[in-house]
A = this chain, B = another copy of it.
Amino acid sequence: MAVVGFVGLGSMGSGIVGRLLAAGRRVVGYNRTRTKAQPLVDAGMEWRDTPRAVAEAADVVCTMVRDTEALHAVTAGPNGILAGLGPGKVYIDMSTVSPAASKELAARVAERGARMLDAPVSGSTVTVREGKLSFMVGGDRATCEAVTPVLLDIGPRVTYVGGHGQGALMKIATNLNLAVQMLAFSEGLLLAEKGGIPRQAAAEVLLNSAIASPMLRYRGPFVLKDPDEVLFDVAMMQKDMLLALEMGRTLDVPLPTTAVANEFLTATRSMGLGHKDFAAMVQALARLAGLPR
């Protein structure tokens, strides 16, 4: 059975490795901050000191990092993943990065004789724990099929969407909906509230109606009470919106609601809320509507 390597053990990465270990996979891992990895080591994951060492020890190497810059940090250089790749190995990036960056990296992986897939995920750490994460995969179809058993140990749905970078594109196309849905939800909520319906009652109705996407059911309650843990903050959400807007310009697709929601993310940051869950967008709109928050 294939040895799986994993670099990037934040909340998402840790959850995924947990699933792999639970499925009986042998996993070798690395994280910039070692302490965060300790619970996984306790659960059976083998530690390696560099991304390169992970790649050398594994048949299938995965990364899950914050952005393009972080991806560069773990793949390039003498201790990077690229240096540890070789023929027969498959490298899967699960991060959300620009399709262009993903394509470029795939070319460098190919130079090493290995194959790359971009396989971003749909879902949060909650989804991971529930075993419901889904993958949108770009790259070579045969490679996708080869690693599908590994991915199915993590979540139930693997959709092959096209060549290198197409997984990344599909993820971006999905995520632009998050901020727009959140802003529209805020519009409805504050309209109801300013019309005299208590925010809690309004939220309850909205979250039990036909507009209640899984994302809204998870995140909607944050407009009443800040979450205990912030998994996807305003700054991260805006990173994805900027990737969407950039792709829209590259592909000549106008994105009107994406563009408007992005400006409200900027407004939310201007209130010093960049590190709050992006449900904080409601506060920017509340300010415009003359409401307390």
Name A residues whose Cβ lies closer than 8 Å to a Cβ of B. Answer: 99, 122-124, 127, 134, 136, 157, 159-163, 166, 169-170, 172-174, 176-178, 180-181, 183-185, 187-192, 194-197, 201-202, 204-206, 208-216, 218, 238, 242, 244, 247-249, 251-264, 266-267, 269-272, 284-285, 287-290
Contact = CB atoms under 8 A, between A and B. Distances in A.
Given A266-B252, A266-B253, A258 B187 contact: yes
Chain A interface, DSSP helix/strand/loop, else mixed: helix
B209 A174 contact: yes
A226 to B, nearest CB: 20
Nearest to A192: B173
B262 A260 contact: no
B206 A215 contact: no
Nearest to A238: B249
A234 B3 CA distance: 52
Contacts of A288: 254, 267, 270, 284, 287-288
A54 to B, nearest CB: 29
Given A174-B188, A181-B213, 14 more contacts: A122-B208, A122-B209, A170-B202, A170-B205, A173-B202, A174-B210, A177-B211, A180-B181, A191-B253, A238-B249, A254-B263, A257-B260, A259-B260, A284-B288
A176 B181 contact: no
A272 B252 CA distance: 10
Q: Pick the most buried of A174, A187, A210: most chain B CB atoms within 10 A of its CB.
A: A210
Contacts of A197: 161-162, 166, 169-170, 173
Nearest to A195: B169
A170 B198 CA distance: 11
Contacts of A180: 180-181, 183-184, 187, 257
A125 B102 CA distance: 42
Given A173-B202, A202-B170, A254 B238 contact: no
Contacts of A181: 177, 180-181, 184, 211, 213
A242 to B, nearest CB: 8
Contacts of A202: 161, 170, 173
Contacts of A206: 173-174, 177
Nearest to A219: B210
A187 B267 CA distance: 13
A208 B134 contact: yes
A174 B211 contact: yes
Nearest to A251: B194
Given A181-B181, A181-B211, A284-B288, A259 B252 contact: no
Contact of A188 (B176, B183, B205): B176
A256 B264 contact: yes
